[in-house]
Amino acid sequence: MFADIVVVGGGASGMAAAIGAKEAAPGAEVVIAERLDRVGKKILATGNGRCNLGNLDVSPAHYHGSFRKMSSIISEHPAGDIFRSLGVLCAADEQGRMYPRSNAAATVLSALRMKLAEVGVKEICGFELCTYLRKGDKYELSSYDGQKISCRKLIIAAGGYAAPQYGTDGSIVRLLREKGYKIEKICPAVAPLRVTSESVKGLKGVRVKGIVQAYSGDKLLSAEEGEIQFTENSLSGICVFNMARYFQEYEGSLEIRLDLAPDMTYDELKEYVREQCTKRADYELNDLLTGAFAKNLAVYLVKNTIGRPMTDRIETITDKEVEKLCRSIKDLRFAVTGSSPWKNAQVTAGGVHKSCVGDDLSSLLEKGVYLCGEILDMDGDCGGFNLQWAWASGFTAGRNCGASLKGADR
Ligand SMILES: Cc1cc2nc3c(=O)[nH]c(=O)nc-3n(C[C@H](O)[C@H](O)[C@H](O)COP(=O)(O)OP(=O)(O)OC[C@H]3O[C@@H](n4cnc5c(N)ncnc54)[C@H](O)[C@@H]3O)c2cc1C
């Protein structure tokens, strides 16, 4: 089979690239080659099924990686405008996170697929790219099961390593490395962080609001306020997700510190705990903090800080122990032992380095190849920033690729 342009990967950036390519070259044959049985499967899982498709904030502050300097293409393609043109009404919450007004990711996917059909993009599913070779002025693509497609231009939109259950296992990143592309160190981003199960024993299922800080030694890397969730061996929640990418750089020294009483000063907290020591004097240590925290967390804090039988009476607690307890409520520390498995990660940090790609998102190593989306070394914070990059980089790569076709092929 032959097509003018083949887009490898039918995810968010691949669909945007195919639409962009057709807009720039309406006469060209544009094909999406997707390994799974349907395009856009990951989109349906985004935002807990609601698809947080963008954010009103388009500033570079929410992006990381060597493509950060290219975040201007996001302000040129705001998600709200893209989806309005596809007939999808969006609404933003107080943090600027944009969702389809229907609150259903299926709305987003069906609008994209309607547009693909309208402009005449073909979807070929069940084509898992194994490799591609330059033959004359064309590329020949081969799938693992022996299918072949040749094309004039190639757009690589095959994603990263995160969430392999949706088709992204990093195989194309490895292929590009073999072809000589510089690949920035890969690591899960927007993901839970692993800690020892001993350090969170008894906290599984607990959710608490607080301030989360990431440290390496004495260096504060980042701080965010929000809800922290505990599992049997990890810390989770949006504010933790946003710190996962630091594991790439600070493996071995990364520490998460929690302030579980951000609304109180240390002295106010101490006053409160002392008051409880008097009011609840006849009760067990187990009950000391249950007026401030969920039972499991209240018991965990006292047990891990004071280290005495929890059946001891509250009146036995010393001033020093109260101070120690308040210090740990304001500064509870967890050494990070690992990042989460890829199946629990939402995004890949790292990928194809900017030094291999021009500002038009064409490859500087292979003529006629364009790249977009998560395969590139750019990851955003949680909050719609990653899909925003996928749509914007996809449209940019697609339009530039379409425009690069010679007159007769367009
Ligand atoms: C559970 C979950 C929730 C998320 N929620 C949000 C959210 O609400 N907001 C947000 O901004 N971001 C969210 N993200 C992140 C966001 O979905 C991704 O950053 C975005 O989809 C990346 O787009 P992409 O097109 O680069 O890659 P993908 O969407 O991953 O698409 C890549 C496509 O390439 C295909 N492919 C891979 N290898 C091959 C091959 N060899 N041959 C052919 N095809 C191949 C894959 O099957 C896939 O369809 C979420 C991610 C997950 C996993």
Q: What is the mean pLDDT of residues 384-400?
A: 98
pLDDT digits (tens, 9 = 90+) for 147-181: 999 999 999 999 999 999 999 999 999 999 999 99
Contact indicator for 195, 235 with CB cutoff of 8 Å: yes
Pair 97, 129 in one domain: yes
In the listed set 339, 370, 396, which residue is the last one of a domain according to the structure? 339
Segment 211-238 mean pLDDT: 96
Cβ(47) to ligand 1 under 6 A?
Answer: yes
Whether the pLDDT of residue 80 is over 90: the answer is: yes
Pair (52, 114) in one structural domain: yes
Which of 339, 364, 396 is at the close of a domain?
Answer: 339
Mean pLDDT along residues 18-29: 97
Residue 246 reports pLDDT greater than 80? yes
Residue 251 CA to residue 246 CA, distance in Å, equals 8
pTM recorded for the entire structure? 0.92
Residue 43 pLDDT: 98
CA of 145 to the centre of ligand 1 (A): 23
124 CB near ligand 1 (under 6 Å): no
* Ligand 1 geometric centre to CA of 12 (Å): 6
Do 179 and 97 fall into the same domain? Answer: yes
Report whether residue 32 contacts ligand 1, using a CB cutoff of 6 Å.
no
Given 310, 339, 368, the domain boundary residue is 339
Same domain, 273 and 367: no
pLDDT tier, 406 (very low <50, low <70, confident <90, very high otherwise): confident
CATH of residue 377's domain is: 3.50.50.60
Same domain, 43 and 176: yes
Q: pLDDT tens digit string along 292-329?
A: 999 999 999 999 999 899 999 999 999 999 999 999 99
One-character DSSP codes across 245-304? THHHHHTTTEEEEEES-TTS-HHHHHHHHHHHHHHTTTSBGGGTTTTTS-HHHHHHHHHH
Based on the domain organization, do 112 and 158 belong to the same domain? yes
Q: What span, in angstroms and rounded, lies between the C-alpha atoms of 85 and 87?
A: 5
pLDDT for the residue numbered 409: 66
The boundaries of the domain holding residue 318 are 192-339
Check whether residue 20 and residue 145 sit in a common domain.
yes
Q: Are 349 and 378 within 8 A, CB to CB?
A: no
**Ligand 1 centroid – CA 196 distance (Å):** 30
Q: What is the mean pLDDT of the chain?
A: 96
- In short, whether 167's Cβ falls inside 6 Å of ligand 1 is yes
| Confidence band, pLDDT 50/70/90 cuts, at residue 408 | low
Q: Which atom of ligand 1 is nearest to the CA of 345?
A: 53
- Domains of the chain: total: 2
73 and 53 in a common domain: yes
Please report the pLDDT score of residue 71 as a whole number. 82
Residues 6 and 123 sit within 8 Å (Cβ to Cβ): no
∠ Cα 403 348 245 (to 5°): 130
pLDDT digits (tens, 9 = 90+) for 189-223: 999 999 999 999 999 999 999 999 999 999 999 99
